[in-house]
Amino acid sequence: MEDTVSSRGKIHSTTILAVKRGSEVAVGGDGQVTFEKTIMKHHARKVRRMYKDEVIGGFAGSAADALALFEKFEGKLDAAHGNLPKAAYELAKDWRTDRALRRLEALLVVANREHLLVISGTGDLIEPDDGLAAIGVGGPYALAAARALAQNSDLSAEEIVRKAMEITSDICIYTNREITLETLK
């Protein structure tokens, strides 16, 4: 996902990959933030645990917007007593209809042991059929690598995320190998 900063410069950042295999889920994100042709940061943390360490989330897009969305989402999780689909639906609904939230530019991937969801500000709430989701500039590379690894191996969710993110960092100039990886087993 690209974030427009001005008419002259764009920030390109983030590859987030989530893999769910059985009751194991892993979410990984790279650490690179790039402004135009310059790497501004190598160790950004775009993946975090939420709700009593039972939910993992990752974001792509504007960091300030994503952090505001994480905070709002955590409130929805608390109100839903950890019910991930209900909290995600409530966030997507608010994000779509609230005038202030509507301006936020980010995507979220959230997961627990039962569900893996992508949430967008356009009201999209998607649970992938194959247990694989990727967002951000490097998302298509990570998703392709994860699909190949998942279909042709017995690797764990964590191993698939790690290997797919490494492959992505070899292809996508906006993705590095400074991977934050969180797993629920």
Residue count (the chain): 185
The tens place of each residue's pLDDT in the chain, 185 residues long, gives: 444 443 444 555 689 999 999 999 999 999 998 887 888 899 999 999 999 999 999 998 877 777 888 899 999 999 999 999 999 999 988 887 777 666 667 789 999 999 999 998 777 899 999 999 999 999 999 999 999 999 988 999 999 999 999 999 999 999 999 999 999 99
The pTM for the full model equals 0.90
Closest Cα to residue 104, out of 57, 58, 56, 68? Answer: 68
Architecture of domain 2-184: 4-Layer Sandwich (3.60)
Catalytic residues: 14
Q: Which residues of 73-105 are buried (b: 16+ CB within 10 A; e: fewer)?
A: bbebbeebeebbeebbbbbbebbeeeeebeebe
Residue 114 is given by DSSP the state: S
Please give the Cα distance from 108 to 135 (Å, whole number): 8
Angle between helix 63-79 and 84-97 (nearest 10)? 130
